[in-house]
């Protein structure tokens, strides 16, 4: 009589673009193991890459089959954007060109924004109407903005970019500094652009201790470090990884992409917010329509910007500076498209 409880859920179709690349290679097994949508959610994975990577992409498909993942109900590996987008419920847009040592993320702008303009139309026409989109490829906020502007029929709320990696990096820095486990730290904020102007803000962050929840700033007890080195370390972490690996971050990017989608779809834990690049509704004085990283909570598949946080003067300057960069990037993106 209880057998209905075991009825398997319908599979969710997840698109990963740039799937033959290094983030793709780390990401698809995480999705197939349930790290993105939960351990009881079957998935079908669509992988898109370009012709020169077709053979490598097929190799990834072979490995997915060989791994015999119980949750994986189908794999499509294709260089055809229409086949790739067909019926997808979640689109993780990783395809593009990564930056190399010495470049800023906006230096890859001209190569990547035209990809996002083209793929916007394919998603609009062929993805499921309620498809949720996460842009990972850099410049992530501006690629997402272009995708949003060239896919007007996709609800604005469904187009986001990844700043969860920066959020997790900030949690990691506080955890290292205090020698506490990272899961005890929460409610840091990444404001703005996934670039070196982002503002990692600890003013509302807390840490679980044996004596209850304490403000992170109070526990660290070193405002100078928090206002300088902490911020620059998080801002420059992507560059530090490139310098060390000669390749940009991949496993942490893939893991954060899973965190982003999981929290968006399944909800953020009570009392916890996360950072997501989402379109601005004007909250905190950020120009409307920009894709800007805010603190958000998620419930029933919808994100909401955390309102009413007190913003001090130093924070205000940094929040505005990263918004200004995004306005400039938008102009630059349009000039690349013309
Ligand atoms: P990679 O070069 O290893 O892989 C990118 C893949 O995209 C390649 O296989 C390439 O063939 C493919 N590609 C290129 N054009 C494409 C197109 N039009 N359609 C589909 N696929 C296409 O790069 P990577 O290290 O996996 O990084 C991917 C992107 O993610 C880069 O832009 C990188 O800067 C960015 N990134 C973002 C974050 C973040 O936190 N937002 C973190 C790490 C990396
Ligand atoms: C990162 O933050 O690691 C990525 O955006 C890669 C990069 O170019 O820094």
Sheet holding 274-279, edge to edge: 72-78, 43-48, 12-17, 90-93, 132-135, 159-161, 274-279, 291-299, 302-305
pLDDT at residue 4, rounded to an integer:
61
**Tokens at residue 90, please?**
């979640």
- Residue among 331, 283, 97 at smallest CA distance from 293: 283
Q: Residue 20, annotated ligand binder?
A: yes
The ipTM estimated for the assembled molecules is 0.99
> For 212-273, what is the HEC assignment?
EEEEHHHHHCCHHHHHCHHHHHHHCHHHHHHHHHCCCCCHHHHHHHHHHHHHHHHCCCCCCC
Ligand nearest to the CA of 102: 2
188, 167 in Cβ contact below 8 A? yes
Kindly list the protein residues whose Cβ atom lies closer than 6 A to any atom of ligand 1. 17-18, 20-24, 48-50, 53, 94-99, 115, 136-138, 140, 162, 165, 194, 248-250, 253
Angle at CA of residue 44, ends 144 and 38, nearest 5°: 80
Closest ligand 2 atom, CA of 248?
A: 6
Distance in Å, CA 175 to ligand 1 centroid: 29
Lowest-pLDDT range of 38-47, 102-111, 152-161: 102-111
Q: What pLDDT is recorded for position 5?
A: 64
Atom 22, ligand 1: residue with shortest CA distance: 95
User: What pLDDT does 123 receive?
Assistant: 97
Q: Which residues line ligand 2 (CB under 6 A)?
A: 99, 105, 138, 165, 238-239, 241, 248-249
Give yes or no for a cis peptide into 130 (omega within 30° of 0). Answer: no
Q: Nearest to residue 163, comparing CAs of 141, 186, 132?
A: 141
**Mean pLDDT on 232-256:** 97
Beta-sheet pairing, 274-279 with 291-299:
antiparallel
- Residues with active-site annotation: 194
Q: What is the pLDDT of residues 90-111, one digit of tens each?
A: 999 999 988 888 888 778 888 8
pLDDT over 60 at 193, yes or no: yes
Cα separation, 197 vs 322, whole angstroms:
5
- Ligand 1: residue of 93, 95, 163 to mutate (most ligand atoms within 8 A of CB) is 95
Distance, in Å, from the CA atom of 314 to the CA atom of 235, rounded to the nearest integer, reads 16
- Residue whose Cα lies nearest atom 34 of ligand 1: it is 98
Has 140 been labeled as part of a binding site? Answer: no
Phi, psi of 183 (to 5 degrees): -70, -10
The tens digit of pLDDT for each residue in 101-145 reads 888 877 888 888 999 999 999 999 999 999 999 999 999 999 999
């Amino acid at each position: 009589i209880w057998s209905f409880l075991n009825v398997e859920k319908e599979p969710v179709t997840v698109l990963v673009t740039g799937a033959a690349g290094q983030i793709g290679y780390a990401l698809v097994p995480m999705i197939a193991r349930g790290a993105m949508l939960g351990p009881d959610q079957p998935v079908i994975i669509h992988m898109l890459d370009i012709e020169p990577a077709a053979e490598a992409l097929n190799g990834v498909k072979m490995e997915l089959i060989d791994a015999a993942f119980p949750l994986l109900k189908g794999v499509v590996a294709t260089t055809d954007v229409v086949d790739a987008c067909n019926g997808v419920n979640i689109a993780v847009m990783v395809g593009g060109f990564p930056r190399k040592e010495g470049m800023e993320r906006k230096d890859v702008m001209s190569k990547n924004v035209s990809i996002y303009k083209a793929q916007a139309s394919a998603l609009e026409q062929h993805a499921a109407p309620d498809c949720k989109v996460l842009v990972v490829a850099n410049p992530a906020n501006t690629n997402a903005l272009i995708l949003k502007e060239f896919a007007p029929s996709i609800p604005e709320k469904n187009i986001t970019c990844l700043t969860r990696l920066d959020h997790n990096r900030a949690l990691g820095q506080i955890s290292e500094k205090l020698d506490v486990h990272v899961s005890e730290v929460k409610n840091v904020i990444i404001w703005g652009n996934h670039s070196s102007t982002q503002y990692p803000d600890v003013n509302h962050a807390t840490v679980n201790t044996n004596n209850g929840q304490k403000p992170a700033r109070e526990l660290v007890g070193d405002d100078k470090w928090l206002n300088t080195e902490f911020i620059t370390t998080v801002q420059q972490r992507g560059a530090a990884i490139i310098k060390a690996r000669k390749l940009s971050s991949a496993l942490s990017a893939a893991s954060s992409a899973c965190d982003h989608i999981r929290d968006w779809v399944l909800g953020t834990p009570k009392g916890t917010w996360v950072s997501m690049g989402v379109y601005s509704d004007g909250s905190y004085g950020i120009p409307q329509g920009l894709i800007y990283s805010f603190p958000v909570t998620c419930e029933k598949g919808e994100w909401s910007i955390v309102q009413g946080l007190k913003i001090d003067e130093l924070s205000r300057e940094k929040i505005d500076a990263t918004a200004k960069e995004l306005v400039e990037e938008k102009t630059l993106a349009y000039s690349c498209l013309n």
